Amino acid sequence: MQVLVTGATGFIGRHVVRALVDAGHAARCLVRPTSDRSGLAEAGVTFAVGDVGAPDTLGPAVEGVDAVIHLASLLKAPWKRAFHTVNVEGTRNLAAACAAQAEPP
Average pLDDT score over residue span 4-31:
97
Q: Say what the pTM is.
A: 0.94
Q: What distance in Å separates the CA atoms of residue 62 and residue 93, rounded to the nearest whole number?
A: 11
Q: Which domains are present in the chain? A: 2-99 (3.40.50.720)
Residue 80 has what pLDDT? 86
pLDDT for residue 76? 84
DSSP string, 10-78: SHHHHHHHHHHHHTTPEEEEEE-TT---TTTGGGT-EEEE--TT-GGGHHHHHTT-SEEEE----S--S
Residues 43-100 have pLDDT tens digits of 899 999 999 999 999 999 999 999 999 999 988 877 888 889 999 999 999 999 999 9
